[in-house]
Structure 1
């Protein structure tokens, strides 16, 4: 029997995607440690502000903070804090190397190469990441001022590292991020126009409503959804291999912590719009349908192609949704239940009935990122249908950035602050990025890269295939000469400690012996 997690010991951003809880604004800033003693003292003062994973009310604002605060450290930051060498040696190699030396694995070449990253990432002086999320911008700025005051009390032992590219090429001391707003309200959209952030893994003890499990866990042989093992996302707990993830000593340093990937991903919006517009002239379907065939979801509301594969089916789905919503708004409980069941299918689906990709292309973005048991080509070949992807799942975090200053172009500043969490940087993020986003052998698509975030270069062979129904008379549609739509502008690997570990670090009592 699994013991419940101590949510008060786990940092809140591990178990919560803050955006879903009504925090559409964020500020990320990075610290440099100049004196280990003063840096540890700063961490001790920051501790009371750290947001934990304690459960919040599902509805309303009561019980929720106006802002959240979390902290994580690079390997160089842990060294600068003076952690014992034996503890440092216990961290995995990819974390110790950091993101820049892994550029070839991640596809960070050409315009995404580290030499082109924002100045903040040049050198190895980023020691810590601090995030502040807020229900409104004013709450973000209030909490930032509190943290900044603590930094100013560190006697020069801690400083904010500047160098984030902002609008008009100016450099800022922090990276602001925000949900994309339409008509004054936050939306789940990103700057290409897709509805994003749909679904995140559900794991044992995460504290989320059990009703959110379907489509977010792992598939059993019976076709049911079960929670993923805690150890896939949090150190010190058993993972899907029935093992404890590799972790440093002492045990309390790692337990209830995890690793975070931070990447600033610039979106070339003009190139995207031009490419889609040109391709749509020859495509048998609407512009939105073409966009859906690249991502796997319809851009306006995120409906999966497994639910509506073409314009006619999407129109029927929209009409059905509209009818049910109108009846539900009038108090029809039956319609409300049907609407809820239909909306659940945005997440609760597999590709079992679409193995050839006639509905959702095999190389579509969401199908690469979460294969949903589709790699089990022979039924019951493994212990569970999703065995090949259960150990590749990622907790996605982050928000869009930029885009507030006029029409978006390739030169303007807009994109996504992509953050993901997992117990293994190599097995989870790096595998997905290298093998599923920038290579397609597992999908029998050769060297094809992901159309949206792959390291494409506009060549004939940079392509995405929209498969056709093998029983029909239409030919597949080839999206060739894919440009690089997303460019990496910076990032690194971070360790998010538990509250216990932060206290140990602050006191300087991390002892691996």
Structure 2
């Protein structure tokens, strides 16, 4: 297993359930004893907070007139509803030097002082049992989406603000200890350590990384995704042994091949290949659970109700085989060849297939890729240090997308996952998003008379860009583009946004619906593919905190219209003089299924194929 680096400053977050009848006793202990853990060696900042059954959402005492006007429009003067928790929790947040296990061992050395606090939490073993003590905290540790500014640059006010933003814990506490801590936003994480470019470049083993991780194959205009199931480990490994050498590496991207092949494996797929239980348990919670189990939080109010085969039950898809090509003819030839190697005799069956095609249109005087609502797509993507040209905040550490390499925290991405499975791999977020083009056109037309530019301006306000992809002079605060990447508009500025970026590799599916043509009831939409190094911090954070929740943008329960919003009574506020509501009577986009996959490095694929039963 990859160990946590021994040096460097990192955040530690522990969320432990308090026994229901012990809250007042714990409060009394904290008032009298304070926080003794501040004396543990290597601690910069530490704080304990009791998270109660009801977490009030505090509104500012002083408002600017625009903020007060917006609050009156959105909330009608009523305060936001509280977030109700099923149980009280004790939250420990700290910034420490070295690995968290060292900090936990230092807490144990306090003996009775530690016991006096943690004995009020369920499952606490006491400080006398060294292994049990550390395990108690490791099991309740959460990967935090923040870093305290314990070094120069962070103020006491910022630290107190971060520790006080407890309402973000409501969703986690409702899940118990199985979830992870949503972000407690501060002025931003510590700066990414500067490394010599030559060292980072050397770390990117292009020949071992799947090609789609570093490039999107924009010259490929046709794609097909085959969803596979494995009948048994021996047959599946034999099939994988034949396939693995054909998977396209990042080293081949520069040659602009006319076809490409990539393979993703779900947690259920790794199990079907015979990966051991201990290895499977080392993967992050969200990957182990699978997207089906997470969808209730990702799509509030909908869950997996609209999902269709092959995603209609947990673990139904073991692998996704992604083929792309410059032409349909080349794609079809590749598919015939790949399908010939599957079937009941091969122990690998095709559970489903989706085809995608690039859509081209004239936008701003040039031919560009568009999605089904007509907007230019694929205009910007994060740059990777050591691979792309750029400087400063333009470049993200490679570990944001490639496991085993440094991420924005300076940690090795995917630490804890066995190296022979994780090294040079990535996580793939896969979602089939059906777009209701007729509903989108009806929605924008219904309020067109309230906008100077008519329906086009309505659409641009909802998306956050003009139809040709150009930026708006005043991008609406809660538009889709701004929710996906708030840039410097939220506390924490650009450093906060850097923590939640993804490499998008999607492609439209289904036929276009020309302007003026009635709804033909045919399926069309976007195959959303995102490459990340941390599913929770990157994809799930953006989906749950920025897309499905409007609080951070001052919009209460208002959701993004292109991911979760829509239905009776749903509406979106568009700023202006005066502001206007856009009703969303039915969903514009509906998720029809998805899964989390591992994109193993090519060496890892070969090793998986060569395993024998254990």
Unaligned runs of 5+ in 1: 58-62, 163-173, 215-223, 310-358, 377-381, 469-473
Partner of 1:25 in structure 2? 222
Structure 1 residues 402, 455: CA separation in 2 closer, same or farther (over 3 Å shift)? Answer: same
Partner of 1:501 in structure 2? 604
Partner of 2:55 in structure 1? none
Partner of 1:414 in structure 2? 524
TM-superposed CA distance for 1:403, in Å, is: 1.7
How many angstroms apart in 2 are the aligned matches of 1:107 and 1:44?
Answer: 37
- 1:331-342 matches, within 5 Å, as none
Partner of 1:52 in structure 2? 249
- Match of 2:346, SS? coil
Cα contact 1:231–1:237 (8 A) shared by 2: yes
- 1:13-412 matches, within 5 Å, as 13-18=212-217, 20=218, 22-54=219-251, 56-57=253-254, 63-107=255-299, 109-110=301-302, 113-123=303-313, 124-152=315-343, 155-162=345-352, 174-182=353-361, 187-205=368-386, 207-208=387-388, 210=389, 213=390, 225-299=393-467, 301-305=468-472, 309=473, 359-376=474-491, 385-403=493-511, 407=517, 409=519, 411-412=521-522
How many angstroms apart in 1 are the aligned matches of 2:456 and 2:235?
Answer: 54
Cα contact 1:29–1:175 (8 A) shared by 2: yes
- Match of 1:177, SS? strand
TM-superposed CA distance for 1:35, in Å, is: 1.7
Partner of 1:329 in structure 2? none
- Match of 1:243, SS? coil
How many angstroms apart in 2 are the aligned matches of 1:424 and 1:192?
Answer: 30
Cα contact 2:211–2:252 (8 A) shared by 1: no
How many angstroms apart in 2 are the aligned matches of 1:106 and 1:441?
Answer: 16
Cα contact 2:443–2:583 (8 A) shared by 1: no
How many angstroms apart in 2 are the aligned matches of 1:16 and 1:102?
Answer: 28
TM-superposed CA distance for 1:404, in Å, is: 5.1
Cα contact 1:108–1:114 (8 A) shared by 2: no
- Match of 1:71, SS? strand
Residues 45-94 of structure 1 show CA distances to partners (whole Å, capped at 9, x for unaligned) of 1122111111644xxxxx32211000011110000000121211100111
Cα contact 2:286–2:536 (8 A) shared by 1: yes
How many angstroms apart in 1 are the aligned matches of 2:293 and 2:306?
Answer: 14
Cα contact 1:84–1:510 (8 A) shared by 2: no
- Larger RCO (alpha carbons 8 Å, 6+ apart): 1
TM-superposed CA distance for 1:248, in Å, is: 4.8
Paired residues, number: 409
Cα contact 1:372–1:389 (8 A) shared by 2: yes
TM-superposed CA distance for 1:131, in Å, is: 0.3
TM-superposed CA distance for 1:440, in Å, is: 1.3
Cα contact 2:300–2:548 (8 A) shared by 1: no
- Residues 1:10 and 2:234 are matched in the alignment: no
Tell me which stretches of 4 or more aligned residues in structure 1 moved more than 6 Å: none
- Match of 2:256, SS? coil
Partner of 1:348 in structure 2? none
What is the TM-score of this pair, normalised by structure 1? 0.76
Unaligned runs of 5+ in 2: 1-195
Which is greater in Rg? 2
